[in-house]
Structure 1
Amino acid sequence: MQKTILLVEDDQDISNMIKTYLNNEAFNVKCVFDGEEARIAFKNAHYDLVLLDLMLPKLNGMDFLQLVRTNSFIPVIIMSAKDSEGDKALGLGLGADDYITKPFSMVELAARVKAAIRRATQYIATPIERNTSIIKVHEIELDTENHRVTKKGIEINLTSKEWKILCLLFENQKKVFTKEQIYRSVWSDDYFGDENIINVHISRLREKIEDTPSKPSYIKTIWGIGYKLGEF
């Protein structure tokens, strides 16, 4: 089945170039040119992936991303001329799956689109198999059947990547994972040493589940190796 992409880009020349290339790669592309138009389009149709510029009129890209993440795990790739670590960290922290800096090659963009859709398809097709759907560690309960995380009975909202990282650690409570192992397991892709993606997701996850994120109890750093679940 042909995959459909929502392309949110206010520069019409860039939008046309991306649309033409991805059409030739057998994708169906819906183009919108501002954040409000994107909000309406996303509400009224199904998409397999969003390509999102950040500097948009009417509703900026970050605000649109937050709207998407309120009820959807659809893959989102940010396309931006902003290349600082802070901008990348913010975008990934709000739930983007990837971040590509302008100018970029169409070949690289298409490869990232295909990888993101492949990972999302694998995530849907291969749910976690367990004898029981509830895993409890200290004050946190992970319900793998209903994809819910609660702490002291209060639900915690996680992005799809944060959820998969937490599942990985909760299901392997004695194991230390390297960043490469986490990336391969969660992103289902080859690891090229981009530690920032892992660092951002771990940091955001700690902010949501730890009492004191700067002194984490649940996600422990094993210096020089990676991360493991804390012991209580």
Structure 2
Amino acid sequence: MVDDEEALARLVAGYLDRDGFEVHVCHDGAQALNLLREVDPDVVVLDLGLPGLDGVEVCRRLRTFSDCYVLMLTARAEEVDTLIGLSVGADDYMTKPFSPRELMARIGVLLRRPRRDPAAAAPGTVPAVTVGSLTIDPAAREVHVDGEAVALTRTEFDVLAALASRPGMVFSRAALIEAVWGPGWVGDEHLVDVHVLHVRQKLGDSAEQQRFVRTVRGVGYRMGPGR
């Protein structure tokens, strides 16, 4: 739990502790990075407005050594803050003030998503999917474009893999939410749009080209032709 509002951090930590979590609390960005390297957490609740290193920079650096789930908190509801936070690898976000019970529900949804161990998957048990120049290997959780590896966050990979699992099908936002976050997720379904935007950027795609992920206006998303 990383938040410079000490009373709020204690409150959330108390809820987490009562639910059986081992909780670590800190109140500034530099301290958070040191602690994150030590404890290797499953989930980080990360405030955007931290002193020193802000939450965006903490999340950006965290992604260089950890794939833990990140739930970003912000006191500013403007869309730009949400987009900035998610662009560096946050999996979900909430704006303040928020209900601690809703926060606990969001954390529970994140943790119900399996952390797949590529080494534990037998070769060939989950076939790779090829869409034009794009290859998605669900067992190894690897993505390549034109033979070059592409680094996606866990959530970005899951969104792409869900679309690729049925390349001819149009997924609504609600269907992608259920496939990736699970049926217990609550929040703004436009979260999907942000992750699709970042998937496109990392694949070298765009909303104009739509080689890999196509927008079906008024409905949702589907895989493109890959070229």
Identity %: 31
Return the letter of the residue paired with 2:94: I
Does residue 36 (structure 1) correspond to residue 34 (structure 2)? The answer is no
Q: One-letter code of the match for 2:87?
A: G
2:205–2:212: 8 Å Cα contact kept in structure 1?
A: no
Structure 1 residue aligned with 2:71 = 77
1:75-102, Cα deviation, whole Å (9 max, x unpaired)? 1111110111111122122221211111
Out of 116, 120, 126, the position equivalent to 1:124 is 116
Instruction: Give 1:125 shift.
Output: 8.0
Residues 212 and 30 of structure 1: CA distance in aligned 2, closer, same or farther (over 3 Å): closer
Q: Which moved more, 1:170-179 or 1:123-132?
A: 123-132
**Aligned alpha-carbon RMSD (Å):** 2.3
Q: Does 2:213 match 1:224?
A: no
Q: CA deviation at 1:214?
A: 2.8
Q: Which runs of 5+ in 2 are unaligned?
A: none
Residue 12 of structure 2 corresponds to: 18
Deviations 1:26-48 (A, max 9, x none): 22211111111111111111312
Q: For this pair of structures, how many residues does the alignment match?
A: 224
| Aligned residues of 1:210 and 1:217 also touching (Cα < 8 A) | no
- Structure 1 stretch displaced more, 79-88 or 164-173: 164-173
Report SS of the residue matched to 1:150. Answer: strand
- Distance between the aligned counterparts of 2:181 and 2:117, measured in 1? 14
Query: 1:87 and 1:18, CA in 2 relative to 1: closer, same or farther beyond 3 A?
Result: same
Q: 1:202-226 deviations in whole A, cap 9, x for unaligned?
A: 1111111144443212111112221
For residues 150-175 of structure 1, give each alpha carbon's deviation from its aligned partner in whole angstroms, at most 9, with x where no partner exists: 11122111111111121122221211
Change (3 A) 1:17 1:123: same
Q: Measure the CA separation in 1 of the matches of 2:164 and 2:100.
A: 39
What letter is aligned with 2:37?
K
**Structure 1: tracts of 5 or more residues without a match:** 1-6
Which residue is 1:114 aligned to? Answer: 108
Would you say the 8 A contact 2:106–2:186 is kept in 1?
no
Determine the C-alpha separation between the residues in 1 that align with 2:208 and 2:92.
Answer: 25
Cα distance in structure 2, aligned partners of 1:170 and 1:72: 25
User: Do the aligned partners of 1:128 and 1:144 also contact (CA within 8 Å) in 2?
Assistant: no
